[in-house]
Amino acid sequence: MSSVRGFLWLVGFLLLGEALVWLLPLPVSPGVVGMLTMTLWLMLRGRVGEDIQAASQPLIAVLAMLIMPGVVGVFFVTDEFAGQWLIIGVALVLGTLLSVATTLWLMQRFMPKADPGE
């Protein structure tokens, strides 16, 4: 029953997210608003209850499975973007190389050297 109660909490926060997005035309998805309000609620309570833990842990564990129907689609849109695959590949690989280099540099610049945590 614990996980059912926890799942009701998650659904409740998701619905709250939907309502907030509709009320204050936010440019964010309801799930993200639900996640943030959930975080705020946990901060107010000061702990993660057993119910919410019981429902959220298994869901997070199967996140990869929940996105699979979308991932599989990439093998079936090949024709649609026929002329652009090279562009997409270059943009992804080069863009990722540049952003990894920048983040490493920024982090090294601003991270306190204090404890050599290894």
Residues 48-107 that bind other proteins (CB under 8 A): 48, 52-53, 55-57, 59-60, 62-77, 80-81, 84, 87-104, 106-107
Question: Rounded CA gap, 22 and 31, in Å?
Answer: 13
Smallest gap from Cβ 89 to other proteins, in A, equals 8
Here the tokens at position 84 are 């652009």
**Other residues' Cβ atoms within 10 Å of the Cβ of residue 109:** 7
Please report, as residue ranges, which positions from 32 to 51 form the binding site for other proteins (by CB under 8 A). 32, 34-39, 42-43, 48
Residue from 3, 5, 14, 20 in contact with other proteins (CB under 8 A)? 14
Question: Rounded CA gap, 88 and 1, in Å?
Answer: 47
* Residues in binding contact with other proteins, number by CB under 8 A: 74
Q: What are the start-end ranges of the H helices in 62-110?
A: 63-66, 68-72, 85-110
Question: Closer to other proteins at the Cβ: 23 or 69?
Answer: 69
